[in-house]
Structure 1
């Protein structure tokens, strides 16, 4: 067996292969397995109490991709939305990829956040090229989540390379989730996006390794 195909971590619903580890080094694009593992870890370890209290929900990127491409809203509701009881969660994190198919691919990640308390979706994009994907998701599910508007967070930092978009998504998730943990609700004015610097992203990659 090729050692790169060897499973080195089996955590909850996430499998991490030897080949995935190399993606954590600077200059590499994070794939859906890495981001999905982090979402699982946030949900079951770091922010477990907040998830149990329905303050937070972390949706796996593969699920987000299915929801984005699903033609039938009823099917999406039956298979994912209703079982995950997302309407009951206060803040929902959805890692969004620009891939147009259900096959592995795409070249950019951004973050879509659903703020159920204030009936809006907020888009965090470190390049600014994923607005079509965010709009597609918003218009497809705005009635299900009773969201009135889609906002782009202009204060969110911009990456300076072509490989850190996934790391920026994880940084945003962690920063916002910590805000919710501290305040028992999302407090957007208190979120210090300027903390997400190139050094912050570099340290985040090292922490994941």
Structure 2
């Protein structure tokens, strides 16, 4: 009976709802009497045509849900429920279509258990805070500015123009200014939270280091002792691709994060050599590099992009989550949302 085919629908329904309330029994009894009258060629004492008999049977099949007799009996207890489907909460679907929340589609009939949030997530608030109508209007207004040289945000000795901000539009490649500004916001938040001390080099640091060694970038840390931090972020621009190296001074690791699954242990090794040279100057002693581990994260271990334009956003979000001590739970589906969120954060100079 799962396919909804009934040899005699009227009789089957009469058997299924035998335990229903009297009012329901009388309703089905009337239907049964009418159906039997149709079979005899009369309805309420009046002649009936064969095609009307078939119409009545078809209507009875359409009215009944294609389900087991148990479901029919259960629904017969509440006739009102059969007249119209229960109200569905479409807020999640609407939010998804408006690109306010990007997530996998959820079938309304399924009940999905919500994963328990970690302590870190609870402390840091929602992972995907909703962007309000006013916030989205602010984003649209900024992107709609006609002058590409108009400065829309200024902080950390950096200026973000309309041209820079436009690189956060869907399908565009992020530039150095946007990534450097965003990583400064990550550092600023860590100073306010006081949970993890995070330091980030600019996107121009690694090309200098690779081209001339520690001597070329020695002055970059003249006013800062990087060994007082827990995490050091090193954004990397390799040709036309953005990625991230992370130095964990407590765990004694140098790891490489790439949204296209590439491996660069050589970059991690070069950064470890830099640490050794920097440590000798700052601390006047040798860094025990034998206790350090360098590695590249596998594509199966971290979120991966499936297009050719989101590597910069992935790099920023790696840095954001790692700085907060959160697992990397985002996906490619979240990128349109992250782009809008990053625009608002840069305009307001704070992370949500």
TM-score by length of 2: 0.48
Which segments of structure 1 move beyond 6 Å, counting only runs of 4 or more? Answer: none
Which residue matches 1:138? 271
Of the three residues 29, 50, 57, the one matched with 2:199 is 57
Aligned with 2:305: secondary structure? coil
Q: Does residue 119 in structure 1 map to residue 252 in structure 2?
A: yes
Higher relative contact order (CA 8 A, sep 6+): 1
Of the candidates 231, 236, 240, which is equivalent to residue 91 of structure 1? 231
3-state SS, counterpart of residue 309 of structure 2: coil
- Pick the aligned partner of 2:323 from 164, 177, 183: 177
**What is the alpha-carbon distance in structure 1 between the residues aligned to residue 176 and residue 263 of structure 2?**
16
Equivalenced residue count is 185
2:269 and 2:208 map into 1 onto residues whose CA distance is 13
Query: Structure 1 or 2: larger strand share?
Result: 1
1:165 aligns with 2:316: no
Structure 1: which 5+ residue stretches go unaligned? Answer: 99-105, 180-190
Which is higher, the Rg of structure 1 or of structure 2? 2
- TM-score, normalisation: structure 1: 0.78
CA-atom RMSD in angstroms: 2.4
Equivalent in the alignment of 1:187: none
Partners of 1:27 and 1:8 in 2: CA distance = 21
Tell me what 1:102 maps to.
none
Would you say the 8 A contact 1:171–1:201 is kept in 2?
no
Q: Quick check: 1:28 aligned with 2:172? A: yes
